[in-house]
Structure 1
Amino acid sequence: IQHLYKEAYLKKVNSISLFDGISTGINDLHRRGYKLAIATGMSRRGLNRALKQSGLESFFAVTKTVDECFSKPHPQMIEEILEFYMVESHEAILVGDSSYDLEMAMNAGVDSIGVTYGSHASEELIQYKPKVLVDNAYEIFEWVMRNE
């Protein structure tokens, strides 16, 4: 049984699938000069593996995980990212799919975009006053481009 579990786990770990539009959208933002970062509840090892497997690692100059920062909704991850890029909170926006993400943004004084196709329903996300709720990745990038 342990062997079967390990085999199934490794298959899942080794297969990263991105939502439609994510790769193109991140590439477009990067090309336009946006400073991209990740603040995640994943481990450093897990994030590094996911970035490598997805081919997105070169787009993010800074990433923060729970291995080096307080967990969400504490604002430390965002504060360290803002400091790294030398930008003010009003110049940044966080995209998140959980109430913890949006609460972290609120705690850091950063605007947010709530993603309804992830962890938490829109009814829960709306409590944290995101600028917009989106139903797919294309809507994230469309909103950002319209609000440059």
Structure 2
Amino acid sequence: MTRIRRFDLIAFDWDGTLFDSTALIVHCIQQACADIGAPVPDTARAAYVIGLGLRDALEYAVPGLPPERYSELGASYRRHYLASQHALTLFSGTLEMLHALKARHHFLAVATGKTRRGLDDVLALTELRGVFDGSRTADETFSKPHPRMLQELMAEFGIEPERTLMVGDTTHDLQMAANAGTACVGVSFGAHDHESFQPFSPLFVAHSTRDLHDWLVTNG
């Protein structure tokens, strides 16, 4: 099928971009630190690590924590998150946006700092089975902002960087896009202040899922 559009592959971050989970992740990081007696990061520091792989996130969120305690902190975080993830939802309008992009015959993918098990679990809790053509998680490849996730997705579908778009809510997402040589779009309603996106020259910064929907179906 002929694909007459600017981008053939659109890759989305998950948490804070499609899934309204930023506040819960921050809370769980802070609670996990309190559980093990580690310094509790403030909200900005905890939010900054969203999208990173677990080890990178813990190193930044709790500097000085001995590496041998990472598993303890990670287990506490997962316990808090799993206890509450049933209450999380997609941002309003996300399903409609994704179905509209599918109707335009884009390849859709997820590139996330979650683990494969974590992503599969959350996809099973939503109505997204069959929507995405591919996905990569931090435990399958390198953590953001390394470009490997996008490189592997582009190779899987035979898409060149200039025909690929990354959509995310953090500088980690946008830096990954820059490292992979792809275009990017930022969203302001996730983990990072959208003013920090400027060095990565996003094509657009969406302030709501409706903004993102409208821009993608018009310019994607």
Task: Tell me the TM-score normalized by structure 2.
Answer: 0.62
Task: Pick one of 107, 116, 121 that aligns with 1:44.
Answer: 116
CA spacing shift, 1:113–1:7, aligned 2, 3 Å: closer
Greater length-normalized contact order (CA 8 Å, ≥ 6 residues apart): 2
Aligned ranges for residues 1-148 of structure 1 at < 5 Å? Answer: 9-148=81-220
CA spacing shift, 1:58–1:16, aligned 2, 3 Å: farther
Conservation of the 8 A alpha-carbon contact between 1:97 and 1:119: yes
String of CA shifts for 1:49-73, please: whole Å, max 9, x gaps: 1111111131112110011110000
CA spacing shift, 1:146–1:49, aligned 2, 3 Å: same
String of CA shifts for 1:49-100, please: whole Å, max 9, x gaps: 1111111131112110011110000000000000111111111111100000
Conservation of the 8 A alpha-carbon contact between 2:100 and 2:217: no
Q: Find the residue that maps to 1:36 and give its secondary structure.
A: strand
**Quick one: which amino acid aligns to residue 41 of structure 1?**
G
* Equivalent residue pairs, number: 145
Distance 1:120 1:147 in 2: 24
Distance 2:212 2:146 in 1: 24
Conservation of the 8 A alpha-carbon contact between 1:65 and 1:77: yes
Conservation of the 8 A alpha-carbon contact between 1:92 and 1:110: yes
CA spacing shift, 1:6–1:83, aligned 2, 3 Å: closer
Distance 1:28 1:120 in 2: 27
* Structure 1: gaps (5+ residues): none
- Mean Cα deviation higher: 50-59 or 95-104: 50-59
- 1:6 shift after superposition: 9.1
Conservation of the 8 A alpha-carbon contact between 1:40 and 1:66: yes
Q: Which runs of 4+ in 1 moved over 3 A?
A: 5-11
Distance 1:30 1:6 in 2: 33
Q: Find the residue that maps to 1:113 and give its secondary structure.
A: strand
Conservation of the 8 A alpha-carbon contact between 1:16 and 1:53: no
CA spacing shift, 1:123–1:6, aligned 2, 3 Å: closer
The CA RMSD measured in Å over matched residues stands at 1.9
Distance 1:126 1:114 in 2: 10
Distance 2:113 2:210 in 1: 24
Distance 1:100 1:13 in 2: 23
Structure 1 or 2, whichever has the larger Rg, is 2
Conservation of the 8 A alpha-carbon contact between 1:96 and 1:113: yes
Task: Tell me the TM-score normalized by structure 1.
Answer: 0.91
- 1:8 shift after superposition: 6.2
Distance 1:115 1:9 in 2: 23
Conservation of the 8 A alpha-carbon contact between 2:115 and 2:139: yes
CA spacing shift, 1:47–1:144, aligned 2, 3 Å: same
